[in-house]
Amino acid sequence: MPSNIAEGSSRTDKSFSHFLDIALGSSFQLGTQLLVAKHRQYLNNEALKKLEDKIEEFQRMTMGFQNSLA
C-alpha cells in the first residue's frame, strides 16, 4: 500500500488518485487475509480487531486525502 502511494505521488493528481485506489484495494485484500489468518488461528480476536481498526483508519485517511485532490 505505501509503495502504491509513493509511486503515485510523482504523477498528476488524477493519476495519483488511481494509485490511491489501488492502495485502498490492497487494504481490503489485507483485511481478507487477516480473516484467513484468524480462521487458521494465527491471530486471536484481540489482534484481529487491532489490525482491522488500523486498516479502517488507513482507509478513512486515504479516502479523505483522495477527496481533497478532486
**What digits encode the pLDDT tens for the residues 32-50?**
999 999 999 999 999 999 9
- Residue range 6-20: average pLDDT? 92
Helices (H), 1-70: 2-8, 13-39, 45-69
Q: What is the pTM of this model?
A: 0.89
- How many independent structural domains does the chain possess? 1
Q: Which three cell numbers mark 65?
A: 486525502
User: In which domain, by residue range, is 52 found?
Assistant: 2-69
- Largest Cα separation within the chain, whole Å, is 43
Query: What DSSP character marks residue 1?
Result: -
For helices 45-69 and 13-39, angle between their N-to-C axes, nearest 10 degrees = 170
What's the grid cell of residue 22? 489501488
Residue 39 and residue 54: Cα distance in Å, rounded? Answer: 19
